[in-house]
């Protein structure tokens, strides 16, 4: 399913577990083997074909837009912004919370999605963040080393002060691994709440001059640069 561009590996497993996938008329289970060339594989009743064109789209998501394929509360999603011009089904890679703006990647390439989202590949995401106040260097060093949240300790990250303005500070934060709403939660814990958060890069791919709501196709060079991401060596247990 990932190779066919139907969904990411994780999403494909969820769909199989939910009974939405059949092979030759039988509900599939995790671990089943099937060949699209010889087996009748259907996802939500639609025949799977492995020849769907791969699409790679970046978007400048505005605040108030949900970075999912649909929303039970009826809020506008990144898929809604694409409109009807994209015939292939694409999916947002990872998430960018509704209060944040910036770069979102949408694709039907399950392998690329896996490389960007799985922590072992350490694909870096870069954010430009405006926080309340002027955090001291000792505070920033704590942030860089990692902060313990209710769901565990955050991985080390890179932080650079870009500039300050009246009562606020702009930071550039680069993370290879992140928890849900991590930047906002850490900033709150350290006493410097986030006022604005924009994702500017996913790996080497930059938001550039895209205006809010605009999209563009990735170049072949950009796709290749993302695919070059390699698994990080496993840390040795002490």
What's the rounded Cα separation, in Å, for the pair 146 and 136? 16
Domains of the chain: 9-47 (3.10.290.10), 56-119+209-227 (3.30.70.580), 124-202 (3.30.70.1560)
Q: Is residue 9 scored above 80 in pLDDT?
A: no
Q: Is residue 168 scored above 70 in pLDDT?
A: yes
Active site residues: 97
**Weakest-pLDDT range from 83-92, 137-146, 162-171:** 83-92
pLDDT value of residue 62: 96
What confidence category does residue 148 fall into, taking pLDDT thresholds of 50, 70 and 90?
Answer: very high
Render pLDDT for 192-238 as a digit per residue (tens, 0 to 9): 999 999 999 999 999 999 999 999 999 999 999 999 876 665 655 54
Name, in order, each residue with C-beta under 8 angstroms of 58's C-beta and a sequence gap of 6 or more.
103, 104, 105, 106, 202, 205, 207, 210, 215, 216, 218
pLDDT value of residue 4: 64
What are φ and ψ of residue 142, in 5° steps?
-60, -45
Residue 77: both structure tokens together: 């999603």
Q: Which of 4, 35, 32, 2 is nearest to 19 (CA)?
A: 32
CA angle 82, 130, 147 (to 5 degrees): 100
Token match 């390699």: residue? 230
User: What would the mean pLDDT of 175-197 be, rounded to a whole number?
Assistant: 96
């Amino acid at each position: 399913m990932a190779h066919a561009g139907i969904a990411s590996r994780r999403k494909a497993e969820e769909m199989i577990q939910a009974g939405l996938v059949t092979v030759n008329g039988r509900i599939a289970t995790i671990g089943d083997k099937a060949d699209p060339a010889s087996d009748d594989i259907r996802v939500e009743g639609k025949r799977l074909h492995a020849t769907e064109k791969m699409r790679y789209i970046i978007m400048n998501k505005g605040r108030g837009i949900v970075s999912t394929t649909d929303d039970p509360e009826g809020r506008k999603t990144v898929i809604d912004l694409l409109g009807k011009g994209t015939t292939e089904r694409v999916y947002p890679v990872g998430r960018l919370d509704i209060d944040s703006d910036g770069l979102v990647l949408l694709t039907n390439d399950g392998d690329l999605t896996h490389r960007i989202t799985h922590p072992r590949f350490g694909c870096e995401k870069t954010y430009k963040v405006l926080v309340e106040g002027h955090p001291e260097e000792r505070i920033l060093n704590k942030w860089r080393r990692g902060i313990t949240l209710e769901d565990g300790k955050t991985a080390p990250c890179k932080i650079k002060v870009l500039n300050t303005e009246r009562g606020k500070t702009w930071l550039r934060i680069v993370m290879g691994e992140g928890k849900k709403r991590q930047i906002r939660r850490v900033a709150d814990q350290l006493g410097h709440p986030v006022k604005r958060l924009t994702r500017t890069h996913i790996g080497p791919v930059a938001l550039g001059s895209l205006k809010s709501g605009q999209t563009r196709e990735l170049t072949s060079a950009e796709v290749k640069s993302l695919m070059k991401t390699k698994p990080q060596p496993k840390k040795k247990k002490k």
